[in-house]
Amino acid sequence: MKKMSKVFLILFVLILMTGCGNGDKEEKLVCTTVENEDEMMIEQVISMTYKNDQLNHMTMEANSKITDATVQENWEDFKEFMDKDNQEFDKEGVRLKVEADDQNYEYRTILDIDVLNANEEVLKEQGFEGLKEDNSTLEESKKIAEQDGAICVVK
């Protein structure tokens, strides 16, 4: 009987260890906003990955689509204007990528932040000073984003 109890105990411990993983809970909060103006539509998607309710990764995508024919005629000027403010870079946990679709008149920026490894000075340069110290939970971030008009989903 003691052997049987040991076997069950070992099985129970193994099930707990494998079934529960290492205790890390990872969730992703995805918030979207869409603004329609006379000349363009701007869609912003922010994805925030939380591990044990601590933000560890964030991606912000902004897609500007020109919808007005007059502005489309000046697409090259628009791209040049946008490029001045959006220089691609990849440094110390923060990366900005820019894509322009000349056929569909879309300009897209993707800011990717490895929050845990990002350099504070680089974060400050991009307007994210204090991001590493922000202790907002996923639910708190979701509530704030929804109050600002975003539609949020937890994945």
With respect to residue 130, please indicate whether it lies within any of the assigned structural domains: yes
Q: Is residue 93 part of a domain?
A: yes
Using only C-alpha atoms, the chain has a radius of gyration, in whole angstroms, of 22
Per-residue pLDDT reduced to its tens digit, 25-36: 999 999 999 999
Is 83 a member of any domain? yes
Lowest-pLDDT choice from 47-51, 63-67, 110-114, 125-129: 125-129
Range of the domain at 72: 24-154
- Taking 90 as the threshold, does the pLDDT of residue 8 lie above it? no
Count helices and strands in the chain by DSSP H and E runs: 5, 7
pLDDT of residue 141: 95
What's the pLDDT at 2?
Answer: 44
Cα–Cα distance, 37 to 107 (Å, whole number): 15
Question: How many Cα atoms occupy the beta-carbon half-sphere of 152 within 13 Å?
Answer: 20
Please check whether residue 50 lies inside any domain of the structure.
yes
Number of structural domains (the chain) is: 1
Judge whether 85 lies within some domain: yes
Lowest mean pLDDT among 17-21, 41-45, 47-51, 149-153: 17-21
Cα–Cα distance measured from residue 133 to residue 148, given in angstroms and rounded to the nearest whole number: 22
In a domain, 60, yes or no: yes
Rounded to the nearest 5°, which phi and psi values hold at 99?
Answer: -135, 135
> Contact 105/66 with Cβ under 8 angstroms?
yes
41 part of a folded domain: yes
* pLDDT at position 24: 82
Could you report the per-residue pLDDT of 85-115, keeping only the tens digit for each?
A: 999 999 999 999 999 999 999 999 999 999 9
For residue 22, the model assigns a pLDDT of 57
In a domain, 148, yes or no: yes
CATH code of the domain containing 82: 3.30.1830
